[in-house]
Amino acid sequence: MKRILEDIGGQIEVRSQHLQGTEITLRLPQERPTEEDTHDPQTTALRTAMSGLKGRKVCIYVECSDMSETPEQSQHRQNMDRYVDVLSSTLTDVLKLEVKRTDTWDGSDDAEVVFCPEVSFECLQKIRSRAAEAKRRCPATIFIAMDVLEAETLRTDARVTSKESIVESMTQP
């Protein structure tokens, strides 16, 4: 893999700490758009769509577990915190969305989309019921599945396909 990355002008960095884990950073080259790219209808359509997202409000909803966690649960929570930080910065910096992060979604904000980095039907039910309590339209919910199989399974689940709200699933990047 290192050779492939180097062949295309990329880099790989690996940092590891005993009992802390390993961090792998891949740096891939990004080509500057050419004059031809700026007139490409697909590129123009993407830029137009992305500009329409600017300032839209989204929420990242991550429920916290109880404070008495096992070492494995603590590690999972730390990994999830890092993942949510990256998701939040991508949504903010790249897509220019206004991002709110919460562990107790109450329906009072005006988020149009709620991201659930972990699939939880309990969270989905809370989103639906709290939106109803707040007398507001239920925001679209996006479950971030671990893999394609989980995402496809979710798309056929009756709790997701109900007419109560819009629910989509996508895989982790």
Q: Which two tokens stand for residue 75?
A: 């590690």
User: In which band, very low, low, confident or very high, does the pLDDT at 107 lie, cut at 50, 70 and 90?
Assistant: confident
Percent of the chain with pLDDT over 70: 85
Decide: 116 and 144 in contact? Cβ < 8 Å. yes
Angle at 156 between CA 168 and CA 61, to 5 degrees: 35
Residue 70: half-sphere exposure toward Cβ, Cα within 13 Å: 2
Q: Which whole number is the average pLDDT over 138-153? A: 90
Task: Identify whether the C-beta of residue 126 lies closer than 8 Å to the C-beta of residue 152.
Answer: no
Question: What is residue 100's predicted lDDT score, i.e. its pLDDT?
Answer: 93
The CATH number given to 54-171 is 3.40.50
Q: Give every CB contact of residue 153 below 8 A, 6+ residues apart in sequence.
A: none
pLDDT tens column, 78-100: 888 898 999 999 999 888 899 99
pTM: 0.69
Rounded mean pLDDT, 132-138: 90
pLDDT mean over 99-109: 86
- The mean pLDDT value of the chain amounts to 83
pLDDT tens, 27-76? 877 766 666 666 667 667 767 777 778 888 999 999 876 667 788 888 88
